[in-house]
A = this chain, B = another copy of it.
């Protein structure tokens, strides 16, 4: 369960004409860098220029771009507008994707107001919440609608992307409803592991996990310089209470 990658046992285990996942994750960064260059009136950029703007190394950038085709000119560089369009087309943001946001709490509010929803390519078609006291509230140019309308909205507007900004509790239920209604991509802000059937893509954004990763490295920094009394042995000292093993798995 929870496998969302479609890996069929095809002939040579080759991803079907696919771009590596790590590259896909960087393409939006390149797209943004190209847009910035374009806005600055720059017409041509070398892989070195682009790499600097995108915060990566130039060899990696060139290899990434090579998966899309040969869009550069040796000795010259890349035409900014041309490459920008090619990447946008490859990602799929030359068309508009309909998005619903479920859960209009603080975060849902913030996302609903997010001007332009990042870059173009995405269109919020509905804000949904199950709380009757929220339904009807206006946020920007939209109105919060009842979660029960989900199915109608998804079908009417061909919604393929759902954003979950509910608390952890109802998130899996919301997710199931979204999938049942026909949504095939989900962006989850709720702090739970959601399980979805094969063929549905899911991505997670989790503030507290990010903070904890930072804390880990922060602790190392302090520990290295000042207080290296990290227990080297896998010892069991300083534990609140060391329970003896045993006690069934049931509740």
Contact = CB atoms under 8 A, between A and B. Distances in A.
Interface of A: 1-2, 16, 18, 24-25, 27-29, 31-33, 40-46, 49, 52-55, 68-71, 73, 76-77, 79, 81-82, 85, 90-93, 97, 99, 105-107, 109-111, 113-114, 117-119, 121-122, 160-161, 184-187, 191, 193, 195, 199, 201, 203, 205-221, 224, 234, 239-243, 245-251
Contact of A212 (B27, B214, B245, B247): B27
A218 B79 contact: no
Copies in the complex: 2
A40 to B, nearest CB: 6
A208 B93 CA distance: 11
B29 A114 contact: no
B82 A242 contact: yes
Given A106-B113, A114-B106, A207-B114, A195 B55 contact: yes
Contact of A191 (B16, B32, B107, B184): B32
Given A53-B193, A54-B193, A234-B71, A90 B44 contact: no
A57 to B, nearest CB: 10
A186 B215 CA distance: 10
B249 A91 contact: no
Given A2-B55, A85-B240, A207 B205 contact: yes
Given A92-B212, A111-B207, A205-B207, 5 more contacts: A43-B243, A44-B245, A73-B245, A184-B221, A185-B214
7 contacts: A28-B209, A82-B239, A90-B216, A93-B212, A117-B207, A118-B212, A185-B217
Tell me if A's interface is mostly helix, strand, loop or mixed: mixed
A31 B82 contact: no
Nearest to A71: B234
Nearest to A249: B44
Contacts of A25: 209, 213
Contact of A40 (B33, B161, B248, B251): B251
Nearest to A75: B245
A234 B187 contact: no
Contacts of A207: 111, 114, 117-118, 187, 205
A78 to B, nearest CB: 9
Nearest to A54: B193
Nearest to A122: B211
B249 A43 contact: yes
